[in-house]
Amino acid sequence: MRRVAATSLVLMALAFSLAGCGYSPGDRAASGGLIGAGAGAAIAAATGGAPLVGAAIGGAVGAIGGAATNPHDINLGTPLWR
């Protein structure tokens, strides 16, 4: 249980701190989802969990965090796909 809580806290912090790429909510959700999926898979693999489950959870948290952020709060510039 402690591992799940620590992983969740790390994912949420990462998602909210890095999910601000782009100007529209869709851009921020996409970049947050990608960053969250990568971080979730890495954390799950490092802690002995299933990387696919970690990627799914991290991607969902990152996408929600990215869509919920305001472009004026966090703006890391134009996303690479634009």
For the chain, how many structural domains are there in total? 1
Q: Does residue 76 lie in a domain region?
A: no
Torsion of CA 51, 57, 60, 65, to 10 degrees: -110
Q: Which domain holds residue 50?
A: 2-68
pLDDT reported for residue 56: 92
Q: Does residue 74 lie in a domain region?
A: no
pLDDT reported for residue 49: 87
How confident is the chain (82 residues) per 10-residue block, as mean pLDDT?
A: 72 61 78 87 87 91 84 64 64
pLDDT reported for residue 66: 82
Q: What is the CA radius of gyration of the chain?
A: 12
Q: Does residue 79 lie in a domain region?
A: no
